[in-house]
Amino acid sequence: METSNLRHETRDAVLVATARDMIARTSMSQDGFAEQLNHQLFDRAPARCKEKGFPDLQAMTKTADMQAYGRAYKTWSKRVERWLDDSGDRIEIPSWIEESWVAALDQPWRDRALTELASRYGLLAVKQIGSGVDDALQVFAGIATNFGLVAGLGGKVFADGVFDHKDHVYAESFESFCRSLAAHAVAMADQASLIASKIH
């Protein structure tokens, strides 16, 4: 399995490409993503959303009539469509929307976006493991999955015993898999360290 090319020139391009890839590869529609983004925005920055005139779609399902909701939904979906446009007519995504945009992505696209955005600053997108029953298990599953991806693609990269310019077609996906593996491994190492410190 290879990822689509997520190495882009701008932050906006990363956000757009990741969302478009998710929409193309899953059953989620562009309107479905717009709705998820709207929910995430109002969870994180409700005052800013109201200031910008964004409709609170979740609240409107309880308070507005269907016609008013339909108009607001259509207007919002059109705004997100303009953000997702990959032509020269695309409107720039405001920086304060980035966190909500990433949160609106399903896995593994959320991790891919975080990995690419963090790597621009020479960082790993490492998240603290939560206290939920399955949180550590999900991180371990991420280690296993990404190790498999690194090993599988590494078999192609190192088929001739070297990693050089001839492997450029694999390089970006290999980088993405390696960074994701590293991020999951560091998160698990941090959790192991935390547990070990409680024993002493």
| Count of structural domains, the chain | 2
Winning range, highest mean pLDDT, from 1-5, 38-42, 135-139, 165-169: 38-42
Residue 145, pLDDT > 60, answer yes
102, 16 Cβ separation under 8 angstroms = no
* Residue 85 shares a structural domain with residue 171: no
* Residue 143 shares a structural domain with residue 94: no
* Residue 102 shares a structural domain with residue 142: no
* Residue 150 shares a structural domain with residue 74: no
pLDDT value of position 64? 66
Confidence class of residue 187 from pLDDT cuts 50, 70 and 90? confident
* Residue 31 shares a structural domain with residue 84: yes
* 75 within a domain of the structure (yes/no): yes
Residue 4, pLDDT > 60, answer no
Smallest Cα–Cα separation from 185: which of 133, 147, 150, 148? Answer: 147
126, 119 Cβ separation under 8 angstroms = no
* Residue 85 shares a structural domain with residue 141: no
* 162 within a domain of the structure (yes/no): yes
The single-letter DSSP state of residue 122 is T
**Considering 106, 124, 158, which residue would you say is the last residue of a domain?**
106
* Residue 90 shares a structural domain with residue 140: no
Of residues 55 and 117, more confidently modeled: 55
Range 7-14 average pLDDT: 77
Distance CA 38, CA 76 (A): 8
* 130 within a domain of the structure (yes/no): no
* 49 within a domain of the structure (yes/no): yes
* Residue 28 shares a structural domain with residue 74: yes
* 111 within a domain of the structure (yes/no): no
* Residue 163 shares a structural domain with residue 94: no
* 189 within a domain of the structure (yes/no): yes
* 148 within a domain of the structure (yes/no): yes
The token pair that represents 51 in the structure block: 């200031």
pLDDT value of position 5? 45
pLDDT value of position 8? 54
Smallest Cα–Cα separation from 100: which of 37, 56, 46? Answer: 37
Confidence class of residue 3 from pLDDT cuts 50, 70 and 90? very low
* 128 within a domain of the structure (yes/no): no
Of residues 197 and 8, more confidently modeled: 197
Residue 41, pLDDT > 50, answer yes
| b/e per residue 90-112 (b: at least 16 CB within 10 A) | eeebeeebbebbbbbbeebbbbb
pLDDT value of position 7? 53
* Residue 81 shares a structural domain with residue 151: no
* Residue 16 shares a structural domain with residue 57: yes
174, 153 Cβ separation under 8 angstroms = yes
Residue 112, pLDDT > 70, answer yes
Residue-range definition of the domain harbouring residue 152: 135-199
* Residue 94 shares a structural domain with residue 50: yes
